[in-house]
């Protein structure tokens, strides 16, 4: 069965349908350079409403396993691959990638030149696209809707004064971020961005984590005053979108990148230590590094290739953020120590003594 990928700039790619054969969708077309981790990528809430192009030519060879999803469902709108295999070689696999997409009612297209498609995205930037079962003259893609906040379940609330308590503000949090925080002596509660400062204060946190999430950080401007209050009262860490929101809350600016950073091999240089480590990234917006200068924040890390802002801190306060994903899933574990650093900050700044 044929499938048609029609780009906003008029280019059309014709391939074979996979996943949900009947489904037709509109979305934002992006690419990721990750060679592995397709299951984590597809279930990452930051990819909500996006059509993901995998640049690696063969996808699906180790199937789908239990306990690997980063949320409760597939968040991507559609999948674009060069080749999707049904021949699965992994002892933990419970189904093929194609079956996983069918189960989630997510369409895909295979058999197209993803190298050419990636070059187009790099030249023109991320763009709207349509995936249809019949050719169309032009995309019918409407402007992307602003992110909606889904109520999150509270994972744990404690009155134990001997336990650190992290409140995660969920803009689209990945499961592995929560798992990276959970350990003996640390409880985690997840709340939504419609929570007020008073709501969060009543949970008696010892630290706040601003999570990753989809979309333009300026769409979350209503929550910025709450961030300003939170940073005045608690140790705070931001990841990806949370990093951008911390910047906005302190007077810096953000901008939309041409094609973003999506992959698991992005080198980042820590300006404090001069160390370089490899990171997992997934974002289409970035903090304007020059706009940080007049704010109370300080840039602590940059992407080695394009010098974009990858880290911030608030000197004199237990506050920092990173643009990349220290929890990986998928990706390298070079930066997982940041969760230990955050817990240490809580411990010495009003937490358990």
What is residue 77's DSSP assignment?
S
240 is an active site residue: yes
Catalytic annotation on 83?
Answer: no
38 annotated as a binding-site residue: no
347 tagged catalytic: no
Which of 165, 266, 325, 347 is the catalytic position?
A: 325
The answer on whether 110 is annotated among ligand-binding residues is no
Tell me: is residue 213 an annotated ligand-binding position: yes
> Per the residue annotation, which of 40, 164, 303, 327 is the catalytic one?
327
Is it true that the peptide bond before 330 is cis, omega within 30 degrees of 0? yes
| Residue 66 annotated as binding site | no
Residue 211 marked as a ligand binder: no
Determine whether the annotation assigns residue 215 to a binding site.
yes
- How remote is the C-alpha of 277 from its chain's centroid? 19
Q: Which residues pair with 28 in a beta bridge?
A: 50, 128
In this structure, the chain runs to a length of 353
- Comparing CA positions, the residue from 285, 263, 198 lying closest to residue 41 is 263
Residue 222: DSSP 8-state: G
Which residue in the list 28, 240, 309, 347 is annotated as catalytic? Answer: 240
- H helices within the chain, ranges in order? 38-42, 97-104, 114-124, 175-181, 197-201, 224-233, 241-249, 337-348
244 is in an annotated binding site: yes
124 is in an annotated binding site: no
Helix (H) or strand (E) holding 25: strand 25-32
Active-site residue set: 240, 325, 327
Which residues sit in the known binding site for L-glutamine?
46, 213, 215, 241, 244, 282, 284-285
């Amino acid at each position: 069965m044929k499938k048609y990928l029609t780009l906003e700039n008029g280019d059309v790619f014709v391939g074979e349908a996979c996943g949900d054969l009947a489904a037709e969708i509109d979305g934002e077309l992006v690419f990721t350079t990750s060679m592995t981790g397709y299951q984590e990528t597809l279930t990452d809430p930051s990819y909500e409403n996006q059509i993901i192009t995998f640049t690696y030519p063969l996808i699906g060879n180790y199937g789908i396993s239990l306990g690997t999803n980063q949320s409760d469902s597939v968040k991507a709108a559609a999948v674009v691959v060069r080749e999707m295999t049904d021949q699965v070689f992994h002892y933990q696999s419970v189904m093929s990638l194609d079956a996983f997409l069918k189960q989630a009612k997510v369409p895909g297209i295979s058999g197209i030149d993803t190298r050419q498609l990636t070059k187009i995205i790099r030249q023109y930037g991320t763009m709207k696209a349509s995936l249809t079962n019949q050719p169309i003259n032009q995309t019918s893609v409407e402007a992307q809707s602003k992110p909606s906040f889904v109520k999150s379940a509270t994972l744990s609330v404690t009155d134990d004064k001997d336990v650190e308590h992290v409140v995660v503000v969920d803009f689209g949090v990945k499961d592995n971020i929560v798992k990276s925080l959970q350990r003996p002596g640390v409880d985690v509660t997840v709340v939504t961005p419609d929570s007020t400062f008073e709501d969060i204060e009543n949970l008696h946190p010892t630290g706040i984590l601003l999570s990753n999430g989809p979309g333009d950080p300026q769409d979350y401007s209503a929550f910025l005053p709450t961030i300003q209050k939170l940073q005045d009262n608690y140790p705070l860490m931001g990841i990806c979108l949370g990093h951008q929101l911390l910047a906005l809350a302190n007077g810096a600016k953000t901008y939309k990148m041409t094609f973003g950073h999506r992959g698991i091999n992005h080198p980042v240089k820590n300006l404090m230590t001069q160390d370089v480590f490899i990171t997992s990234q997934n974002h289409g917006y970035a903090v304007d590094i020059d706009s940080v200068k007049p704010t109370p924040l300080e840039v602590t890390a940059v992407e080695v290739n394009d010098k974009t802002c990858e880290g911030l801190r608030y000197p004199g306060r237990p506050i920092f953020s990173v643009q990349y994903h220290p929890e990986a899933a998928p990706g390298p574990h070079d930066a997982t120590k940041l969760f230990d650093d955050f817990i240490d900050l809580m411990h010495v700044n009003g937490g358990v003594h």
